[in-house]
Amino acid sequence: MANRCYPAIAGILLILSVTAALSEPGELRYRVYIEGVSRDLRLELRDISDAVAFMNKPPASKILLRRRAERDIDRFRQHLRTYAYYDARISVRVDTERTPVRVYFDVEKGPLYELREVTLDWRDRPEEGEDRLDLPTPARLGLRIGDPAGATDIRNAENNLVAFLKRRGFPFARVQDREVVVDHRTRDVSVTYAFESGPVAEFGTTEIRGLDRLKEDYLRRQIPWSPGDPYNHDTVRRLQRRLIESQLYASVRVAGDEALDEDGRLPMVLDLQERKPRSVGIGIRYATDEGWGGKFTWEHRNRFGRGERLDLSGLLTEIGYAVELGFRKPDFVVLDQILRMTLRLSEEDTDAFVSRNYRLSAMLERQITRELVLGQGIGFKYSEVDQLDRLDRFSLLSFPAQLDWDTSNDLFHPTRGGRLSLRGVPFLDVSDTDLHFLRGRAGYTRYVRVRRRPEMVLAGRVMAGSIVGVSRENVPADERFYAGGGGSVRGYAYQSVGPLEGDVPLGGRSLLVMSAEWRVRATERIGFSIFTDGGSVYEDAVPRMGEDMRWGTGAGLRYFTPIGPLRLDVAVPLNRRREIDDSFQIYISIGQAF
């Protein structure tokens, strides 16, 4: 009888010991260390780790901590397969002798596996002889025989295959099965995609849903297909992107029906929800050289039912004011052509000059590609300019031309790509035909992301300008080039870099400005920067680097908001001029400096 009790007693003791282990009082604070991989890969593994994600919720026992860590092993193996490591070995060590407890993941990636073969199994292949039967090569799908067989590339190739078929007129194409065979002996990977293309189709009728204030004829004009055109999914995506970028809609869905109609065509549906057309905005900025400034904007994005944009803005600073009324007509005469008209009243009272003026301009812009925009226009400006107690009046007729090429990835916080801006404006004073000149300006900015976590971006900028056809004294003071301030050479007062008469900036006929900035986004909200700016303006029409160049440097703080980073920069002049330059300048605004 006693012998029969021993197993029961042992079982009870085991249950009690396990219960006690799971019920240890207190919480096990711990840290996680991932060893055996590069820094970038370690950061990626930490991003998908439960042990890392729940460090702020420590478990109550060592057993629960180990279980939490062991759940990460399969996640890590799956992630390593995206880099073609199919034989990774991962172990977990928990060191309870230290406080806080340390959890170690020992990662052995193993060898890279190469792609050996890609097979496309067309299940519903039509009869031979049709002109749509040429299937893409593995390279066209993003796979190359002999390259590492990353799991992400294999999944992306599946999407690329479906996209290829939809471009060739098969709207219902789908991959039924993806078979991946890993040979651990040869360290090779073979992939088979079994797919159905479905029938070839043409575009059918297009139904538009959800319009309220927008005119249907305006929207139909933007549809890039007609009934009977061969179906192409890229055309569908281009229309959807175009509608989203118009900022007229809260939601956009462009899709085909679930089946072909009786004529073998695919009916299309545009399902839209319009945005509220009006919006207002308020902005504020500060700089030690310019003082406080505030801006108010009002916008109507669909004034007459065809996407016309009417906007009113007002700017008030300690050195002047400006009121501007603008009108934008999209798809003017032809698609991808914009008419812009602007009326602006302003007054500037700076150390360089006092200018009271109004401008009227019209600009025709042509969207050549998604990145390239060309523009040509006409403008008129009447101004009264006072510099060094000399008052001049000008009635300038101008014919501006411009080119903008933008490959950057974000308007307010770009991290890659570049921006090229070219401007050329011939001026003619209609009240004095002897005054005519050409003002040109070019600028290029480049952004390079050098690290992903934490995000580090190297940004560089160069600007140059020239005025030809007239001496500096005959160029209106408010049309000359100036440098210094938050938009050019930080550390120096607004417009103060360049030729001076006493403490009055005279401006120049040429401009050269260069900037370099190292930007770090330390957290989701907080970032900082270190920058150097240099530049000057010159009396001659050709800029030159030399002793006249002024350099400034400084550091900045960034607070990232949904509408862009809030910027605080503090800059000091490196070539400080006695009784002219302050020891530092402060700038506060929305958006990066460039």
274, 298, 322: which is the final residue of a domain? Answer: 274
**Predicted local confidence at residue 20, as pLDDT:** 41
Rounded mean pLDDT of 421-448? 95
- According to DSSP, the β-strands at 500-501 and 455-468 are unpaired
Q: Is residue 44 part of a domain?
A: yes
The yes-or-no verdict on residue 126 having pLDDT over 90 is no
Average pLDDT of the residues in 134-153: 94
Tell me: do 42 and 146 sit in the same domain: no
pLDDT over threshold 80, residue 227:
yes
Q: How many helices (H) and strands (E) does the chain have?
A: 7, 28
Q: Which two tokens stand for residue 333?
A: 């005469």
Distance between CA 49 and CA 73 in Å, rounded? Answer: 9
Mean pLDDT value across residues 279-301: 92
- Give yes or no: residues 102 and 220 share one domain: no
Please tell me the predicted confidence (pLDDT) of residue 184. 95
Give the whole-angstrom CA distance, residue 235 versus residue 254: 10
Q: What is the C-alpha separation between 153 and 570, in angstroms, rounded? A: 45
Q: Give the containing element (helix H, strand E) for 220.
A: helix 216-222
pLDDT at position 248, please? 95
Does one domain contain both 66 and 161? Answer: no
Distance in angstroms (rounded) separating the CA atoms of residues 434 and 341: 28
Give burial (CB, 10 Å; 0-12/13-18/19+) of 2: exposed
| pLDDT at residue number 545 | 76
Instruction: Report d(CA 293, CA 348) in Å as an integer.
Output: 13
For residue 572, give Cα distances in angstroms to 157, 270, 458, 520: 53, 55, 21, 20
Residues 50 and 148 in one domain: no
18 found inside a domain: no
- Above 60 in pLDDT, residue 531? yes
Nearest to 434 by CA among 481, 394, 377, 376: 394
pLDDT at 232 exceeding the cut of 80: yes
CB neighbour list of residue 501: distance below 8 Å, 6 or more residues apart: 388
What is the residue range of 56's domain? 26-108
Contacts of 366 (CB under 8 A, 6+ apart): 336, 337, 338, 373, 374, 375
Task: Say how far apart CA 478 and CA 506 lie, in whole Å.
Answer: 10
Say if residue 297 is in the same domain as residue 391.
yes
The residue from 274, 297, 318 where one domain ends is: 274
Clarify whether residues 515 and 560 are in a common domain: yes
Report residue 419's pLDDT band, with 50, 70 and 90 as the boundaries: very high
How far apart are alpha carbons 552 and 247 in whole angstroms? 39
pLDDT of residue 261: 92
Helix, strand, coil tally for the chain in percent (to 5) = 15, 45, 35
Burial label, 535 (beta-carbon count in 10 A; 0-12, 13-18, 19+): buried
Q: Higher model confidence: residue 143 or residue 289?
A: 143
> Residue 17: inside a domain, yes or no?
no
Question: What is the C-alpha separation between 54 and 319, in angstroms, rounded?
Answer: 53
Query: Do 232 and 337 fall into the same domain?
Result: no
Question: Within 10 Å of residue 14's Cβ, how many Cβ atoms?
Answer: 10
Residue 307 lies in a domain: yes
Q: Is residue 13 part of a domain?
A: no
Query: 228 and 103 in one domain?
Result: no
**pTM, entire model:** 0.82
Same-domain pairing of 186 and 283: no
Residues 260, 123 share a domain: no
Residue 347, domain CATH: 2.40.160.50
Looking at the structure, tell me whether residues 221 and 120 fall in a common domain. Answer: no
CATH of the domain at 162: 3.10.20.310
* Whole-number pLDDT of residue 546: 74
| 225-228 contacts at long range (C-beta below 8 A, 24 or more positions apart) | 225/268, 227/202, 227/203, 227/265, 228/202, 228/203, 228/265
Residue 194's beta-bridge partner residues? Answer: 121, 177
Distances (CA, A) of 347 to 342, 426, 431, 508: 16, 23, 21, 21
- Measured distance CA(196)–CA(199) in Å, rounded: 9
Cα(435)–Cα(205) distance, integer angstroms: 59
- Asked if residue 126 and residue 103 are part of one domain, the reply reads no
Would you state the structure tokens that stand for residue 388, as one six-digit string? 């060094």
Mean pLDDT, to the nearest integer, of 435-464? Answer: 95
Mean pLDDT of the chain: 92
- Does 413 reside within a domain? yes
Does any domain span residue 6? no
178 pLDDT band, cuts 50/70/90, is: very high
Q: How many other β-carbons are positioned within 10 Å of the β-carbon of residue 558?
A: 22
Which of 108, 134, 152 finishes a domain? 108
415 found inside a domain:
yes
Domain count, the chain: 4
Omega prior to 224 cis, within 30 of 0: no
Cβ 319 vs Cβ 350: under 8 Å: yes
> For the CA atoms of 253, 259, 262, 265, what is the dihedral angle to 10 degrees?
50
